[in-house]
Amino acid sequence: MTTLLHVTASPRDDRSHSRRGGRLVVAQLGEAVGGLRVIERDLAATPLPHPDAGFVEASLMPDADRTAAHRAELALSETLIRELEAADAVLISTPVHNYTVPSALKAWIDLVVRPERTFRRTPMGKVGMLADRSVLVVSASGGNFDGAHAQTDFLMPYLRYVFATVGIHQVEGIRLQNTARGADSVAQAFERFRQELAARMLLVPLVA
């Protein structure tokens, strides 16, 4: 059985363009890949806590020194990391908030990117400890990142760097752009999205 981890970050439920785009990807994968199992991690339906002092203390100490209380602080992080480890591929559906990831997705990242658990600290820098796999990012933005008056893209470079830190280097993205410019603009964005998805189907070769 093939497993896909689908992380959704938009707080807008069915009004969310990134969620709609993510559902299109999952549907197309389900048709292309037999026996697809999807782990849904909805960061709006079940918000994650941002790291607090207890989590930071527990995450930074050697595993042999951790007490039961420290391990309790790390329990949610362990659950999220195991979901990622169990996945053959990852789909992230997210809006672009103020040029980068929304805080809900940042909380997921902060709980997953952990020293000596998902990356190792060495004199030469951080070395990822997870097996490489494919990640597809479906992002929706009110503005555009291409052409005239384009915004600077901080989201994809950041996510590529973050995933590379834990050992995951196959990170690609498909954008839904100009979604704040009326119904016609949204329709055009989804038409381009469908065309690009059909042409690329980035996850299929890696989960099939």
Task: Give the residue ranges of the annotated binding site for FMN.
Answer: 10, 16-18
- The gap from C-alpha 52 to its chain's centroid, in whole angstroms, comes to 22
The binding site comprises: 10, 16-18
The residue length of the chain stands at 208
Q: Give me Rg for the CA atoms of the chain.
A: 18
Which residue, among 128, 139, 207, 123, has the nearest Cα to 178 in the 3D structure? 139
The single-letter DSSP state of residue 150 is P
Q: For the CA atoms of 63, 65, 68, 71, what is the dihedral angle to 10 degrees?
A: -30
